[in-house]
Amino acid sequence: MPAGALAPPMTMARKAMRKERPTTRVATVSERSDGRHEHRTAKVVEIIGSSRRSFEDAVRGALQDASATTRGISGAHVVSMSVKCRDGEVLEYKVDLRVAFGIERTARP
């Protein structure tokens, strides 16, 4: 591609494929001030919540569902928000969340 030329726009199919990939990340944090661990590790997963009432309700519901199967949720980041509409009326609010939780450690024998 010549210098200064713009890259071709991403096709809709490529955008859709990129969004469908499941997201799981592992983040580490250096030694804590209390010295309990050499490092702490958190896992980040991406979930989607929805509500007919509001974005806030969609976030609360998604976190409540996630906490039913995941211990130690320590935070969430709202990646995106969208709505489903019909004739200009909002039918459903949707949120895409990245949820972080600590990895539990077990004592080694």
Domain contains 78 = yes
Q: Which domain holds residue 88?
A: 24-32+39-102
Query: Which pLDDT belongs to residue 33?
Result: 53
Which tokens sit at 16?
A: 């859709």
Domain contains 10 = no
Cβ-based neighbours of 22, under 8 Å, separated by 6 or more: 46
Domain contains 17 = no
- What are the C-alpha distances in Å from 2 to residues 8, 10, 17, 76? 12, 18, 28, 41
Domain contains 59 = yes
> Which residue has tokens 């450690």?
105
What is the C-alpha radius of gyration for the chain, rounded to an integer number of angstroms?
19
Q: pTM for this structure?
A: 0.62
Domain contains 92 = yes
Domain contains 18 = no
Average pLDDT, the chain: 78
49-92 pLDDT tens trace: 999 999 999 999 999 999 999 998 999 999 999 999 999 999 99
Domain count, the chain: 1
Distance of CA 78 to the CA centre of its chain: 7
Q: Any idea what the CATH number is for the domain that residue 61 is in?
A: 3.30.1660.10
Query: Which pLDDT belongs to residue 31?
Result: 44
